[in-house]
Chains A and B, each alone.
Chain A
Amino acid sequence: KDQVFQPSTVASSEGAVVEIFCNHSVSNAYNFFWYLHFPGCAPRLLVKGSKPSQQGRYNMTYERFSSSLLILQVREADAAVYYCACQNYGGSQGNLIFGKGTKLSVKP
């Protein structure tokens, strides 16, 4: 079954580098997408691709079946849910298959 796996929670301290890991069992998946979701708001794309990439404080690592999102100099305001997703070419689940989300908590 095509699935995306990520930890349910990650805890960090302000100023640290936090890593959220994701892996998948999705056939024909080549791209990872990382979304940020604050409750009551629209999930927002942070970074994506099929190779390591960086957008501001957000770094994405890439392996064929896994990716990590690294958040540099994490702040209390980064506390939110982070979703990892894979793009399934031609699958029955549309373009993106999401993990269950990782809730990040940040201690001051």
Chain B
Amino acid sequence: DSGVTQTPKHLITATGQRVTLRCSPRSGDLSVYWYQQSLDQGLQFLIQYYNGEERAKGNILERFSAQQFPDLHSELNLSSLELGDSALYFCASSVGGPGTGANVLTFGAGSRLTVL
């Protein structure tokens, strides 16, 4: 157990729908990161929050949004879903924010989203 908890583990939904993925970071970690892993693709960085504030943004679609709550858990909202959004979504957490030396990311086991 990495200490990073993601729910749900699996989710099947239809095109046009909206889903929310949840992540609880490891105890003591202030940063949360979201990554998308599509078929034959690596881990694509989506967005990062540090202590409730957005700190870095990657290739995140406008249909996707995220937030980090005061208790430091984070949610990734995916709306107007398309078939191509089917992927494994990973959450990771770390103690520090951007620019922190050798900042180690601890990953959760991922949420597998299937859009039919």
Contact = CB atoms under 8 A, between A and B. Distances in A.
Q: Does chain A bind chain B?
A: yes
Interface of A: 4, 31, 33, 35, 40-45, 48-50, 83, 85, 87, 89-101
Interface of B: 2, 4, 33, 35, 40-45, 47-48, 55-58, 90, 94, 98-110
Given A43-B90, A100-B42, A49 B102 contact: yes
A78 to B, nearest CB: 19
Given A95-B103, A99-B42, 4 more contacts: A44-B2, A90-B98, A95-B94, A97-B45
B48 A94 contact: yes
Contacts of A43: 43, 90, 107
Looking at B43, B98, B101, B109, which has the most chain A CB atoms within 10 Å of its CB?
Answer: B43
A93 B58 contact: yes
